[in-house]
Chain A
Amino acid sequence: MSFVLVQVIVGGLLLGAVYALFSSGLTLVWGMMNIVNFAHGDFVMLGMYVAYVVYTLMGAGPILGAPLATLVLATVGVVVYFALIRGIMKGPMLAQILGTFGLALLLRYSVFWWFGANFLSMPQDIVGGTYAFAGLRLEASRLLAGVVALLVTLGLHLLLTRTSLGSKMLAVAEDQTAAQLMGIRPDTMQAIAWAIAAGATGLAGALIANFFYIVPTVGETLSIVAFVTVSLGGFGSVPGALVAGLLIGVIESLSGYLIGAIYKDIIVYILFLFFLWFRPQGLMGKS
């Protein structure tokens, strides 16, 4: 196998891990309370701006930017839950869709208004340049994003399956009333789920900001990726999102290189639809 092909696959895996990280929040919120969050990509965008502000104010890279973005977005998640989601959950499906869609526009245009429409960018070497070995070139910022995303997504899965907090959250997802009778407060658990989901997008945004461009509309581009990842992985499944994210990253890169970038999306979506035909519940979703 040529080096170029290895490079393409490694690049795809790293990108896929980041797809997995910001998609895991979306899948979590869906699994917990059947809410499709259309503002998800814009949460990632907010994370990118937090990282950018941290960089311009303090000159700090992701060591400070990533945790701060996680914290800020987790807070945003909790606020959004109490101010918007708790209300619209009682409404019809259309209200939920339009509610989070409205939130997406509100966030996007607030950032437009505050930061302007200009493209921003972090310095290329903020995470330490590029590593080269055996003809392979790995950008430190992409490597960091990929590895952290992989670890955090796995951590999220462990949190849900191995801790009492996770069990409580899953209990609420399964049956709210029964969970309440067991002394679990659904409100608190759902707020925590929003904090975790939004925090994950904040972290993903801060990591992506190191190698991508930053602009108020970047969430639009990322949202679609998140939705495809989540439905391929199975709605509500964090490990599903992880596998799907990696898969999509590699398929995108490979078809972009071998067949041509114009056809990249066609290939991804043909495979996606073909797969869902046989397994409509997704890779690891429950039927």
Chain B
Amino acid sequence: MSLKQVTGLLCAAAMSLTFAAGARAEDKVVKIGVIMPMSGSTASIGAHAKAAIEVAMDIINNAHPELGNLPLAKNAGLAGLGGAKVEAVFADNQGNPATGQNQALRLITEDKVAAVFGSYQSGVTLTSSAIAEKYGVPFLNSESVAANLTERGFKWFFRTTPIATDFAKIYVDFLADMKATGAKIDAIAVVHDNTEYGTSVANTISATFKEKGQPVALDVAYPVNATDLQGQVLQLKDKKPDVIIMISYTSDAILFAKTMQSLDYKPPILLADDAGYSDPSFIKAVGKISQGLFNRSSWVVGPPGSPSAIIADMYKKKSGEEMDDTVARQMQGFFVLADAIDRAGSTDPAKVQAALKATDLKADQLMIGYKGVKFDDKGQNILASGAIIQLQDGENYVSVWPKANAEKPPVLPYKGW
């Protein structure tokens, strides 16, 4: 085999991996483009999202009367489109804003998808949704939390997840409650990566605490996918904050946990902002040395036999992983989008957009712990909400706050290992 052939084969192999996710068109199929990080350092999230969306498609495309009030579960397919099936066309954004943009363009112009769904990292969502806006195709986002995404005055962008301002309020209230039980919360440190997600959430949290008369004492930024975090941990160890709020993707979250143990550093309260800390591979890798970690979540499994518990089971069978907050929010977002297309009774973009604007789902029609789904004129779900969970005695998060939904009381201080 000549050199050119070898190189050609290798390139072909690489390219086929990128495009393998594509699918053929069929009659009575509604195609939804799904842009996720299937490779790159957040590929584990992409793999989980794919499994979650496959479960969602199973629920939509087949009859699942056991799931109660969940829209689209009872019958097979989308009733509004004569029982049409939903088909996700997966595209890999490699965790890269430029790639996300290209993939959005491909899905819209070549695959002719009815709507676009994605794209995990806020920075990637920012670019890929701009393409959907340009082409007039509805874009639903279920997990990116940078505030500016809905501040752009876009007409085709809808977001179901709670966002940074919501979390900041959750953290303020949660810490106030902890203070009432005797915890010290005077010096707060915010640790974040330098991505759109990390910086925007950190800024929002800092601004909110400042408004409440308690400015953040220490802001520690680091480059995403760091090779070494000893400097940051030593800096924290030096300054001894009472509370650390961590805003990190999975790779950095794991490295932080390991470095904190090796340098024997335990803050009194360690509070994580979802993301990497909700990735099951974080818990598997370093859950044992992160006991007492608080995390934000909107997902609660619920009692056995409940729709959410059944869905969690289906997801576990599909992926081999426990359902976590990120995939639950993604799955919920996909249901909202499919429901809007069903109510539109058409894949015409304007009709789907109108149906999304008219969305009014109640809490009992959801698989996640939001108060409902209803979009404001910026496309933000005003009924999204969240809670605080904690890693206690082992490798599962339990809900600890607010008190009304708590399985167990919060345990202080942070135990570590």
Contact = CB atoms under 8 A, between A and B. Distances in A.
B63 interface: no
B386 interface: no
Q: Which interface class (under 10, 10 to 19, 20 to 34, 35 or more) fits B?
A: 35 or more
B47 A117 contact: yes
B286 A121 contact: yes
Given A11-B230, A215-B41, A119 B7 contact: no
B250 interface: yes
Contact of B262 (A88, A211, A217): A211
Nearest to B11: A102
A119 B281 contact: yes
Nearest to A4: B234
Interface residues of A, number: 50
Given A121-B285, A137-B263, A256 B231 contact: yes
Contacts of A87: 1-3, 6
A91 B281 CA distance: 43
Interface string B2-14: 1110110011011
Contact of A262 (B194, B235, B282): B194
Chain B interface SS verdict (over half):
helix
Contact of A264 (B41, B223, B225, B261): B223
A87 B10 CA distance: 14
Interface string A38-79: 000000000000000000000000000000000000000000
B199 to A, nearest CB: 10
A90 B7 contact: no
B127 to A, nearest CB: 21
Contacts, number: 153
Nearest to B15: A105
Contact of B13 (A99, A106, A120, A211): A106
A221 B14 contact: no
A118 B39 contact: no
Contact of A7 (B47, B220, B228, B234): B234
A131 to B, nearest CB: 10
A261 interface: yes
Interface in B224-239: 225-232, 234-235, 237-238
Contact of B227 (A118, A225, A262): A225
A87 to B, nearest CB: 5
Between A95, A132, A256, A264, the greatest number of chain B beta carbons within 10 A of the residue's beta carbon is seen for A256
A223 B39 CA distance: 17
Given A130-B261, A137-B264, 16 more contacts: A4-B238, A7-B263, A8-B231, A11-B230, A95-B4, A102-B13, A109-B17, A118-B284, A119-B284, A120-B281, A120-B285, A121-B254, A121-B286, A124-B262, A256-B222, A262-B222
Interface of A: 4, 7-8, 11, 15, 84, 87-88, 90-91, 95, 98-99, 102-103, 105-106, 109, 112, 116-121, 124, 130, 132, 137, 139, 142, 211-213, 215-217, 220-222, 225, 252-253, 256-257, 260-262, 264-265
A138 B264 CA distance: 10
B76 interface: no
A8 B232 CA distance: 10
Contact of B417 (A124, A217, A220, A260): A124
B44 interface: yes
B3 A215 contact: no
A98 B11 contact: yes
A261 B238 CA distance: 16
Between A98, A99, A130, A253, the greatest number of chain B beta carbons within 10 A of the residue's beta carbon is seen for A98
Contacts of B14: 102, 105-106, 109
A116 B237 CA distance: 35
A116 B48 CA distance: 10
B43 interface: yes
Nearest to B282: A119
A98 B261 CA distance: 41
A213 B284 CA distance: 11
A106 B15 CA distance: 11
Given A4-B238, A106-B14, A117 B46 contact: yes
B232 A112 contact: no
Contacts of A4: 234, 237-238
B74 interface: no
A118 to B, nearest CB: 4
A132 B262 CA distance: 10
B255 interface: yes
Given A102-B14, A118-B47, A261-B231, A139 B284 contact: no
B289 interface: yes
A212 B284 CA distance: 14
B46 A261 contact: no
Contacts of B354: none
B165 interface: no
A222 B228 CA distance: 11
B279 interface: yes
B221 to A, nearest CB: 5
28 contacts: A8-B231, A11-B230, A15-B227, A91-B3, A98-B10, A102-B6, A102-B11, A109-B13, A112-B39, A117-B38, A119-B44, A119-B251, A121-B258, A124-B258, A124-B286, A124-B289, A139-B262, A212-B258, A215-B41, A215-B43, A215-B251, A217-B39, A217-B43, A221-B41, A222-B227, A257-B235, A262-B222, A262-B223
B230 A213 contact: no
A265 B237 CA distance: 23
